[in-house]
Each structure stands twice: as C-alpha cells, then as structure tokens.
C-alpha cells in the first residue's frame, strides 16, 4: 500500500484517515497540529500520540515536503524558492517580508494555460495542476524554515496570496482543501482577510469559491475594455468584463472584505493613457455595466522579459494614471516592486515547465493593436471625444 502524504489532507480528511486506522477525531487534531504548527515530519517525535498510533502511521503515512532545487535572497530581503514537483517541472514560491506582515506568494500549477501577454509564467506554457499537498508544502517549508532561521516559534507568515505560477481557480479541487488547511486554527490559523486568491477571471469558479470558502479576492483586470483585455488576458474571450464584474458583485455578498482588488499591470503605450484611466473609472462606477463595484485598484509596474515584446510604463505615467483614479474616487495603490533582482517580482515567476500547450509558438502574436478609447466611448455612448469642450470631468 502506498503511504499517504498527510500534507494532502485538510482536517476533515485527516480525521477520516485516522478513523480508517481505528482512531478518534481528536487524534487527527493532535496530528494536524504537529504537522502544521510545529513542522514535525517524524511520527516518533509526536510525544502526545499513543505509541500504537505512531506505529500505525510509520507504516501507512508520510509527511512529504517538496525538494528544494534552489533558494535566492534578494537585497530587499525577499526570498524565492524553486521546488521540484517531478517530471521535469519546478515551481517558484516567494516570501516578501514587510514591517507589519510576512507575505507568501504560492503557486498552484506547473505553468499556466491562460497565456496572459505580460506574464512570464504564461510564456512557459502549462504542464499540470499541483496537488493539495504540493500547494500546502510550499507554505509548510517556508513557515518552518523561516522560523528556524529567526529562532522563533511565533508565526512568520501572516498573509498568503495565491498569485504564484498558475491560475488557482483552474485547479479548484486541489485549491479548496489547501485553503482550509491555511485557515484552520489547528493548522496555520490565517484570517480569511489575509488569504487572497488571485484569478484572471474564471467566472463559474468565483461563484464556487463564494459558496465554499470565501477569502479575499484579487482579479487580474489589466484593461478597461473587452477589445484590449481579449488580447492581454485571453480568458476574457470566454468571460468578458461585464460577466466578470457581475461575479465580483455576487462574491462581495460573502467576502471577508468589502471590496475586490483589481490588479492592473501598467504597460507602456498599451493600457496607461489618461483616456483609459477615465474608462476604468466608468467601468467600476455607477454608470458602469453592472453599477458601482466596491474595489481597490492595484497598479503594478510591469516587470519586462524579452518574449513579451512589452515595456514598463514610466513612473510619471503610472503616477498620473493613479492620480486620475484617486481624483475619481477610487482607492488606488502602486505596488512597490520587490525581489526583481532575483526574478521574484510580480509576473516574473517562470520555474521550469514541461509545456504541453505549445505556448511558445502560440504566443508569438502580432503586436497589440490599440484602438483609441475615445472612439470606443464615442461610438458606444454618443459622447464627445475626451478633451472636447463638452467633456464632463468626474
């Protein structure tokens, strides 16, 4: 019989496993604490477990972490691990230390099939989904290694963001129990407000997450119109912006926060004009397709890589874009780039992927054709072009 990797189980699944061994649920709770709170791998160390249970576990179970292929530490303290997940695939995980929090960015897939133009992971292609145990193992390793380095038994990681390699909601069956391990008071005890799932917009699974395990939600928006988002985020062709915003409205009914975070990667000459900022204001405002969407806009300076054919918006352009949003009443932040000297910044995670999707040739597309926002707005609403004497400033 193959030994079960206990990192694959949330508490309910671990309790069911213990019942198969003839043990009560409280034994599963003890075992869960040893694994996740204390970082134990050796059943013999678990002193409050009955010797008979430890002997059963030694023959039927294991706690199997991921092999670390490399570790890099940035000048700003950011740490990036490359984990071997077998079959020639490796995924990356990033820890970002800040004064008031420690954030871990976790991968959910070996590669990504969405194929966003500005994302290094997407250009690597897609191999497979990670298992629950492979997702949890990233947190298990980072938390307990960092504790050891700092010489503390206190929790080091206060926030988890599912923003690493992959589209989490396309690996929902493995994601859901992993989230439950993170949130469980007998596991890592993280707040729902401090666990964030980032999605490119898989509408049906946003609704599933709302019902099953609502945590903070970040949506990769990156464009204020369907025409542009179709090119930047190909999933938009299946779930266009209006459908996505409707799903966000529904999600807010159960969300632990009263807003959705919209991620917006700033691309020079592509999505960073003043007219596009005004269209973004309209999109999530009262006059938008679904009415006002309570949100925060997170502007992300693009981290260039050669295959993208894209460049980063200037700092002045980013700040001007942000000012227009703030003046229009939107809470707006500009993400500070961390770990770019070790390729650990947003959009840079690539790992090693045995691509099954032919991504390299698939993503060698013609340059993005930018249709002026003004003409789109004028054709849709009959309004005068922006900058004309009849324009109304919000």
Task: Tell me the catalytic residues.
Answer: 92, 346
Dist. CA 57–CA 27, nearest whole Å: 12
Dist. CA 306–CA 350, nearest whole Å: 13
Residues 6+ away with beta carbon under 8 Å from 57: 21, 31, 43, 49
Which tokens in the block code for residue 310?
């894209």
Which tokens in the block code for residue 373?
């926002």
In DSSP notation, 246-259 reads HHHHHHHTT-SSSS
Residues 370 and 336 sit within 8 Å (Cβ to Cβ): no
Residue 75, SS3 per DSSP: coil
Q: At what angle do helices 274-284 and 315-327 cross, to 10 degrees?
A: 40
Q: 335, 309, 310, 311: which is closest to 322 by C-alpha? A: 335
Helices and strands in the chain: count of H runs, count of E runs: 13, 14
Residue located via tokens 């092999």: 67
Dist. CA 195–CA 210, nearest whole Å: 14
Q: 234, 226, 236, 221: which is closest to 267 by C-alpha? A: 221
Which tokens in the block code for residue 267?
């691309």
Residues 6+ away with beta carbon under 8 Å from 233: 114, 116, 117, 200, 201, 220, 222, 223
Q: 178, 272, 269: which is closest to 223 by C-alpha? A: 272
Dist. CA 90–CA 393, nearest whole Å: 49
Dist. CA 55–CA 60, nearest whole Å: 9
H/E run at residue 71: strand 67-73
β-strands 260-266, 216-220: how paired? parallel
Residue 68, Cα to own-chain centre: how many angstroms? 21
């Amino acid at each position: 019989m193959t030994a079960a990797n206990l990192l694959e189980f949330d508490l309910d699944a671990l309790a069911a496993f213990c019942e198969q061994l003839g043990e009560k649920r409280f034994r599963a709770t003890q075992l869960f604490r040893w694994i996740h709170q204390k970082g134990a791998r050796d059943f013999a160390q678990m002193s409050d477990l009955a010797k008979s249970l430890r002997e059963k576990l030694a023959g039927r179970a294991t706690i199997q972490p991921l092999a670390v292929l490399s570790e890099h530490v940035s000048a700003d303290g950011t740490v990036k691990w490359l984990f071997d997940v077998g079959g020639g695939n490796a995924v990356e995980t990033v820890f970002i230390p800040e004064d008031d929090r420690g954030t871990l960015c976790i991968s959910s897939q070996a590669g990504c099939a969405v194929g966003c133009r500005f994302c290094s992971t997407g250009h690597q292609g897609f191999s497979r989904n990670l298992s629950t145990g492979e997702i949890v193992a990233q947190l298990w390793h980072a938390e307990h290694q960092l504790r050891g380095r700092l010489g503390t038994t206190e929790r080091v990681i206060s926030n988890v963001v599912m923003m690493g390699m992959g589209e989490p909601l396309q690996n929902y069956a493995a994601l859901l129990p992993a989230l439950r391990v993170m949130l469980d008071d007998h596991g890592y005890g993280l707040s729902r407000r401090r666990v964030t799932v980032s999605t490119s917009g898989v509408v049906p699974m946003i609704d599933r997450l709302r019902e099953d395990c609502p945590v903070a939600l970040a949506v990769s928006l990156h464009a204020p119109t369907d025409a542009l988002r179709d090119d930047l985020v190909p999933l938009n062709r299946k779930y266009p912006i209006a459908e996505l915003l409707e799903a966000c409205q529904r999600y807010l009914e159960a969300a632990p926060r009263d807003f959705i975070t919209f991620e917006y990667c700033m691309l020079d000459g592509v999505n960073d004009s003043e007219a596009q900022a005004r269209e973004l204001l309209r999109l999530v405002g009262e006059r938008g397709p679904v009415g006002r969407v309570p949100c925060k806009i997170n502007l992300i300076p693009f981290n260039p890589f050669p295959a993208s054919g894209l460049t980063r918006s200037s700092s002045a352009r980013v700040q001007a874009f942000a000012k227009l949003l703030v003046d229009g009443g939107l809470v707006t932040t500009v993400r500070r780039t961390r770990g770019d000297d070790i390729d650990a910044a947003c959009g840079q995670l690539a790992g090693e992927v045995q691509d099954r999707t032919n991504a390299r040739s698939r993503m060698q597309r013609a340059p993005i054709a930018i249709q002026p926002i003004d003409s789109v707005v004028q054709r849709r609403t009959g309004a005068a072009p922006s900058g004309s004497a009849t324009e109304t400033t919000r």
